[in-house]
Amino acid sequence: MSVDSQLPGTEPKTEMNYKVVTTKVGDEGTTSLGIHGFINKGDMRIELMGGLDTLRAHAHGLEQRPSWLDSMLTDMMVSMTRMHDIKHEERLKSMEDSIALLRDSVSFSDDGWFSPATEQSRRWDVFRALVRKVERDAWRVYTENDSKLRFKDMAQMLNRLSDFAFMMAMLHSKSR
Protein backbone atom coordinates (compact mmCIF):
# COMPACT_ATOMS: atom_id res chain seq x y z
CA MET A 1 0.00 0.00 0.00
CA SER A 2 1.37 3.40 -0.88
CA VAL A 3 1.21 6.34 1.51
CA ASP A 4 -0.57 8.28 -1.25
CA SER A 5 -3.34 5.73 -1.70
CA GLN A 6 -6.94 6.84 -1.51
CA LEU A 7 -8.66 6.11 1.80
CA PRO A 8 -11.79 3.98 1.41
CA GLY A 9 -15.03 5.90 1.20
CA THR A 10 -13.50 9.17 0.09
CA GLU A 11 -13.33 11.13 -3.11
CA PRO A 12 -10.61 13.71 -3.70
CA LYS A 13 -11.90 17.17 -2.78
CA THR A 14 -9.68 20.21 -2.73
CA GLU A 15 -12.15 23.04 -2.41
CA MET A 16 -15.10 23.94 -0.23
CA ASN A 17 -18.50 24.28 -1.88
CA TYR A 18 -19.87 27.70 -0.98
CA LYS A 19 -23.28 28.10 -2.60
CA VAL A 20 -24.26 31.27 -0.77
CA VAL A 21 -22.07 33.89 0.80
CA THR A 22 -23.89 36.45 2.90
CA THR A 23 -22.63 39.44 4.81
CA LYS A 24 -23.62 40.95 8.15
CA VAL A 25 -25.38 37.75 9.27
CA GLY A 26 -22.76 37.14 11.97
CA ASP A 27 -22.59 40.70 13.26
CA GLU A 28 -24.54 39.71 16.38
CA GLY A 29 -22.09 36.94 17.35
CA THR A 30 -23.83 33.93 15.82
CA THR A 31 -23.13 31.86 12.75
CA SER A 32 -24.84 29.05 10.90
CA LEU A 33 -23.77 25.49 11.48
CA GLY A 34 -25.80 23.85 8.73
CA ILE A 35 -28.76 21.82 9.94
CA HIS A 36 -27.95 22.75 13.55
CA GLY A 37 -29.12 26.32 12.93
CA PHE A 38 -27.43 29.42 14.27
CA ILE A 39 -25.07 29.03 17.21
CA ASN A 40 -22.84 31.36 19.19
CA LYS A 41 -19.47 32.04 17.54
CA GLY A 42 -17.81 31.21 20.87
CA ASP A 43 -19.19 27.65 20.76
CA MET A 44 -16.46 24.97 20.75
CA ARG A 45 -17.95 23.48 17.57
CA ILE A 46 -17.11 26.70 15.76
CA GLU A 47 -13.57 26.57 17.21
CA LEU A 48 -13.27 23.01 15.92
CA MET A 49 -14.53 24.03 12.45
CA GLY A 50 -11.97 26.84 12.39
CA GLY A 51 -9.24 24.41 13.36
CA LEU A 52 -10.20 22.01 10.57
CA ASP A 53 -10.23 24.92 8.12
CA THR A 54 -6.75 25.95 9.32
CA LEU A 55 -5.50 22.40 8.79
CA ARG A 56 -6.87 22.40 5.23
CA ALA A 57 -5.10 25.69 4.51
CA HIS A 58 -1.77 24.50 5.94
CA ALA A 59 -1.99 21.16 4.14
CA HIS A 60 -1.68 22.88 0.77
CA GLY A 61 1.94 23.81 1.54
CA LEU A 62 3.03 20.25 2.28
CA GLU A 63 5.12 18.26 -0.17
CA GLN A 64 4.21 14.61 -0.66
CA ARG A 65 0.74 15.35 0.67
CA PRO A 66 -1.33 12.17 0.28
CA SER A 67 -4.40 12.45 -1.96
CA TRP A 68 -6.68 11.41 0.90
CA LEU A 69 -5.73 14.31 3.18
CA ASP A 70 -7.86 17.07 1.60
CA SER A 71 -10.82 14.73 1.27
CA MET A 72 -10.61 13.61 4.89
CA LEU A 73 -10.41 17.16 6.27
CA THR A 74 -13.26 18.34 4.07
CA ASP A 75 -15.40 15.36 5.12
CA MET A 76 -14.74 16.19 8.78
CA MET A 77 -15.97 19.75 8.22
CA VAL A 78 -19.05 18.51 6.36
CA SER A 79 -19.82 15.99 9.11
CA MET A 80 -20.03 18.89 11.57
CA THR A 81 -22.73 20.68 9.56
CA ARG A 82 -24.75 17.56 8.81
CA MET A 83 -25.57 14.54 10.87
CA HIS A 84 -23.72 11.98 8.74
CA ASP A 85 -20.88 9.90 10.07
CA ILE A 86 -17.49 9.54 8.49
CA LYS A 87 -16.19 6.09 7.53
CA HIS A 88 -14.14 5.85 10.68
CA GLU A 89 -12.78 2.31 10.95
CA GLU A 90 -11.73 1.93 7.30
CA ARG A 91 -9.91 5.26 7.41
CA LEU A 92 -8.18 4.51 10.71
CA LYS A 93 -6.88 1.20 9.34
CA SER A 94 -5.60 2.84 6.15
CA MET A 95 -3.91 5.61 8.12
CA GLU A 96 -2.31 3.09 10.46
CA ASP A 97 -0.99 1.17 7.44
CA SER A 98 0.49 4.40 6.02
CA ILE A 99 2.11 5.20 9.37
CA ALA A 100 3.64 1.70 9.54
CA LEU A 101 5.13 2.15 6.04
CA LEU A 102 6.63 5.48 7.04
CA ARG A 103 7.94 4.12 10.33
CA ASP A 104 9.98 1.60 8.36
CA SER A 105 11.47 4.46 6.29
CA VAL A 106 12.76 6.67 9.10
CA SER A 107 15.33 6.21 11.79
CA PHE A 108 14.98 7.50 15.30
CA SER A 109 17.83 9.27 17.06
CA ASP A 110 19.58 7.60 19.97
CA ASP A 111 18.39 10.28 22.42
CA GLY A 112 14.77 10.05 21.20
CA TRP A 113 14.50 13.73 20.26
CA PHE A 114 13.47 15.06 16.87
CA SER A 115 14.48 18.39 15.39
CA PRO A 116 13.06 19.39 11.99
CA ALA A 117 16.05 19.93 9.71
CA THR A 118 14.48 21.04 6.41
CA GLU A 119 11.77 23.48 5.35
CA GLN A 120 9.35 20.66 4.52
CA SER A 121 10.18 18.91 7.77
CA ARG A 122 9.32 22.11 9.64
CA ARG A 123 6.07 22.50 7.67
CA TRP A 124 5.02 18.94 8.50
CA ASP A 125 5.94 19.52 12.16
CA VAL A 126 3.84 22.73 12.32
CA PHE A 127 0.99 20.82 10.67
CA ARG A 128 1.38 18.07 13.32
CA ALA A 129 1.18 20.64 16.13
CA LEU A 130 -1.95 22.17 14.60
CA VAL A 131 -3.52 18.72 14.25
CA ARG A 132 -2.87 18.08 17.95
CA LYS A 133 -4.65 21.32 18.88
CA VAL A 134 -7.64 20.46 16.69
CA GLU A 135 -7.68 16.95 18.19
CA ARG A 136 -7.93 18.48 21.69
CA ASP A 137 -10.80 20.67 20.44
CA ALA A 138 -12.56 17.58 19.03
CA TRP A 139 -12.29 15.80 22.39
CA ARG A 140 -13.61 18.93 24.14
CA VAL A 141 -16.61 19.07 21.77
CA TYR A 142 -17.14 15.32 22.26
CA THR A 143 -17.27 15.64 26.06
CA GLU A 144 -19.36 18.83 26.05
CA ASN A 145 -21.99 17.53 23.60
CA ASP A 146 -23.22 14.37 25.32
CA SER A 147 -20.41 12.29 23.81
CA LYS A 148 -21.80 12.23 20.27
CA LEU A 149 -19.97 9.43 18.44
CA ARG A 150 -18.88 11.38 15.35
CA PHE A 151 -16.73 13.73 17.43
CA LYS A 152 -14.97 10.77 19.05
CA ASP A 153 -14.38 9.30 15.58
CA MET A 154 -13.03 12.63 14.41
CA ALA A 155 -10.70 12.90 17.42
CA GLN A 156 -9.34 9.41 16.79
CA MET A 157 -8.70 10.17 13.11
CA LEU A 158 -6.97 13.41 14.07
CA ASN A 159 -4.78 11.44 16.47
CA ARG A 160 -3.67 9.16 13.61
CA LEU A 161 -3.19 12.18 11.35
CA SER A 162 -0.85 13.67 13.95
CA ASP A 163 1.17 10.44 13.98
CA PHE A 164 1.26 10.49 10.17
CA ALA A 165 2.42 14.14 10.12
CA PHE A 166 5.16 13.33 12.66
CA MET A 167 6.41 10.49 10.48
CA MET A 168 6.36 12.76 7.41
CA ALA A 169 8.34 15.42 9.31
CA MET A 170 10.92 12.81 10.25
CA LEU A 171 11.07 11.49 6.69
CA HIS A 172 11.68 14.98 5.30
CA SER A 173 14.24 15.72 7.99
CA LYS A 174 16.13 12.55 7.07
CA SER A 175 16.24 13.53 3.38
CA ARG A 176 18.33 16.62 4.17
Q: Mind listing the pLDDT tens digit for each residue in 81-136?
A: 665 555 667 777 888 888 888 877 776 666 666 677 788 889 999 999 999 999 99
Whole-angstrom distance, CA of residue 134 vs CA of residue 81: 17
Q: Please, are residues 61 and 121 in contact by the beta-carbon 8 Å criterion?
A: no
Rounded Cα gap, residues 157 and 163, in angstroms: 10
Of 131 and 60, more confident: 131
**Each residue's pLDDT tens digit, 141-172:** 888 766 555 677 888 889 999 999 998 998 88
Mention every residue, 6+ apart, whose C-beta is less than 8 A from residue 2: 101
Q: What top-level class would CATH report for the domain 25-174?
A: mainly alpha
> What confidence score (pLDDT) does residue 146 get?
63
pLDDT at 58 over 80: yes
If you write DSSP's letter for every residue of 126-164 in order, what string do you get?
HHHHHHHHHHHHHHHHHHHTTT-HHHHHHHHHHHHHHHH
What local confidence, expressed as pLDDT, does residue 74 receive?
Answer: 81
SS3 38: strand
Average per-residue pLDDT for the chain: 76
User: Which residues of 25-92 form beta strands (DSSP E)?
Assistant: 30-32, 38-40
Contact 173, 112 (CB under 8 A): no
**Contact between residue 59 and residue 65 where contact means Cβ atoms under 8 Å apart:** yes
d(CA 59, CA 70): 8
Handedness of CA 152, 158, 164, 166 (dihedral sign): negative
Asked if 127 and 167 count as a contact pair (C-beta separation under 8 A), the reply is no
The whole-number average pLDDT for the span 15-32 is: 66
